[in-house]
Each structure stands twice: as structure tokens, then as C-alpha cells.
Amino acid sequence: MSSCVFCKIVEGQLPCQKVFESETVLAFKDLHPQHPIHYLFIPKKHYVNVADLPDDNGNIMADLFAAIKTVAEKEGFAEKGYRNVINTGTWGGQTVFHLHVHLLSGRTMSPSF
Ligand code: AMP
Ligand code: ZN
């Protein structure tokens, strides 16, 4: 059994509020939303973060961003816009060590980092 929280969600051992699922990607609402819309897109296969991806990583990031595009269009905020954030490692502020892309939307954001 995996000790990774997001693997547990993929395996159905922990609940989530699912917003998208494909063969390779799962997306669900963040437990502690920082924006009116705050979803997490994860590969079903475990990778720690971007730094852990093999050089030949197939279509993992492409699958994640295709899913993001699909959800934004389906939920009607693609035109208004959104922000994606990927935190990598301690300096990057990563707290859950299973690769994930944040999707933030629902209000205007400052253009700063
Ligand atoms: P990061 O700082 O990029 O590693 O972000 C991890 C995110 O995962 C945070 O925004 C948490 O609120 C979120 N999170 C942690 N546990 C869960 C969970 N069980 N279900 C949904 N979101 C979670
Ligand atoms: Zn995992």
C-alpha cells in the first residue's frame, strides 16, 4: 500500500472531489482552496515532481495540460483565464510529493509572481 496521499486518492483509499479522469490523469478539488476555483491535476503514475520525471517522459505533461484545457473549456472559464502553478521541491514550496499542477481561477490575479 502506498504512503503517498495522492497515490491513495488514485487507488480510491482516500476520497476526493473529482473534476476529471482519463487513463493517465486524475483531477480533483484542492482540500484548502486558495482561489474560487482551485483544482489539482496529477498523473495517475507516481512521480515526485518535475525533477523526478525521466528525460523520456512520454506525454505526461502534455496529458496534464490537455486535461486542464478540457476542464477549463467544459466549466466555462477558459476565456476568462486561469493560472497554473507547479511547485518543485522545498525551495519551490512543494508540500505533497506527487507531481501535480495547480489550476487557479475564478478571480483576477495580480500579474506578479
Ligand atoms: P503543493 O504545495 O504544491 O505541494 O500543494 C499541495 C496541495 O495539495 C495543497 O494546496 C493542499 O491543500 C493540497 N492537498 C493536500 N492533501 C490533499 C487532499 N487529500 N485532497 C486534496 N488536496 C490536498
Ligand atoms: Zn504518489
N-to-C CA span, the chain? 38
Per residue in 5-57, pLDDT (tens digit) is 999 999 999 999 999 999 999 999 999 999 999 999 999 999 999 999 999 88
> Which residues are within 5 Å of ligand 2 (an ion), measured at CB?
4, 6-7, 46, 98
Q: Probe ligand 1: pick from 2, 17, 40, max atoms within 8 Å of CB?
A: 40
> Which residues are CB-contacts of 2 (< 8 A; sequence separation ≥ 6)?
8, 11, 46
Q: Which of 50-54, 56-60, 86-90 has the lowest mean pLDDT?
A: 56-60
The answer, yes or no, to whether any atom of ligand 1 lies below 6 A from the CB of 98, is no
The answer, yes or no, to whether any atom of ligand 1 lies below 6 A from the CB of 19, is no
User: How much distance in Å is there from the Cα of 33 to the middle of ligand 1?
Assistant: 9
CA distances from 91 to 6, 86, 95 (A): 21, 12, 10
* Closest approach atom of ligand 1 to CA 32: 12
**What is the model's pTM?**
0.97
DSSP 51: G
Closest among 69, 67, 65, 78 to 105, alpha carbons compared: 78
Burial label, 93 (beta-carbon count in 10 A; 0-12, 13-18, 19+) = exposed
> Which residues are CB-contacts of 44 (< 8 A; sequence separation ≥ 6)?
10, 23, 24, 25, 26
User: How much distance in Å is there from the Cα of 17 to the middle of ligand 1?
Assistant: 12
Residue 113: the pLDDT is 75
User: How much distance in Å is there from the Cα of 12 to the middle of ligand 1?
Assistant: 16
